[in-house]
Amino acid sequence: MGELKKWRDEKWVRIGTDGSIKGECGTSKNKKNPDRCLPLSKARSMSKAERAATARKKKKEGKKKQFVRNTPAARVTRRR
């Protein structure tokens, strides 16, 4: 199975600026500046403070640009 297929089939969740998991990705009310989305497994592996930091970064920089990089703690890495 290809890596892209695996990535698409993961369960993705929205992260609120308070660090809580808000629900499924793509259900944000603010379509111009949506919430941060992460794979559920990655979101659960992070502390609430780490999730809040990446969500706040997305909200702050998302007003100016479409693509906002994750914080180092929120980066998803794959083993080869």
pTM score, two decimals?
A: 0.80
Q: What pLDDT score was predicted for residue 67?
A: 84
8 Å CB contact between 15 and 54: yes
Alpha-carbon span 21 to 7, nearest angstrom: 19
Alpha-carbon span 2 to 70, nearest angstrom: 23
Nearest Cα residue to 51 out of 6, 16, 75: 16
Per-residue tokens: 16: 């609120």
pLDDT, one tens digit per residue, over 7-66 is 888 899 999 999 999 999 988 888 888 889 999 999 999 999 999 999 999 989 888 888
Q: Which helix (H) or strand (E) holds 9?
A: helix 3-9
Residue ranges per domain, the chain?
3-66
β-bridge mates for residue 76, sequence order: none
